[in-house]
Amino acid sequence: MTAYFERLDDSRFRATEAVGGAWDPTEQHIAPALGLLTHAVERAFAGRLADGLQLGRLSFDILGTMPIDVVQIETRMLRPGRTVELVEATMSHGGRASVILRAWMMARHDTETLAGNAFPSMPSREELEDWRGFDAWPGEFVRTVDVHGKRLEQGRAQVWLRPRVPLLEGEPVSATGRLLSILDIANGITPRFAPQDVLFPNIDLTAHLFAEPQGEWLGFDTTVAYGVSGLGVTQTVLHDESRVIGTCAQGLTVRPRR
């Protein structure tokens, strides 16, 4: 397997076996699809990004599952502007929309003297061991990442991940697209209960970025919470190898297996 997807034409892509899902290996894991939507937005609006805009928020609504098959992506501008723009990309399979991305692109300004955050730091990759936390999951996708990490407590872990498989065969992908191609894996890093006992798929993912990731490895400082009525959230602070770069939240539907 050389990539998660192969391009067929300007809007159609064939998923490979590398995207095999964790809930059902015959369906796509949504993570590579989110990366592909991000790449499609960057490609469709490359001129605006070159003019000084940058992706700040990417919000995905997951409308349904997809088989490992051909998908189609369409993009459009929702709210044009000189300094802030809202764009949309929709991934469909068989004429049915499966994922919708809405992304805010915002102007660049020099805020180096203002930069800072109060998020806690993560241990370096060298301080953490090889991670076996994905052994409980089926599917090929979770086997395509290198992982070092540790579980701090029930529902809390810190891990470093690196995809071994490129997002798209024979096509350059930005660091942001590469991050998004594995970001949804956060929900499976440190579940509060084993997936064999409890279902907790996410119905969305929203990433807020304040720096473009650099380097091969991405740090996930992940915390999971379940409520008393079937709702949950997976919250992640994102790192590259030198700094915090943003946050990610995933809304969950939680239910015991019967």
The 10s digit of each residue's pLDDT in 203-246 is 999 999 999 999 999 999 999 999 999 999 999 999 999 999 99
Average pLDDT over residues 145-169: 96
Beta-ladder partners of 199: 255
Question: In angstroms, what is the C-alpha Rg of the chain?
Answer: 18
Nearest to 156 by CA among 219, 245, 221, 232: 221
Q: What is the CATH number of domain 5-107+126-256?
A: 2.40.160.210
pLDDT of residue 1: 62
Model's pTM, two decimal places? Answer: 0.96
Residue 146 has pLDDT above 80, yes or no: yes
For 246: left if phi > 0, alpha if psi spans -120 to 50, otherwise beta; the answer is left
Structure tokens at 253: 């539907």
Take residue 191 and report the two structure tokens written for it: 């579940």
Give whole-number Cα distances, 143 to 55, 67, 134, 163, 165, in Å: 29, 18, 8, 9, 10
Please state the domain extents for the chain. 5-107+126-256
Q: What is the pLDDT of residue 106?
A: 97
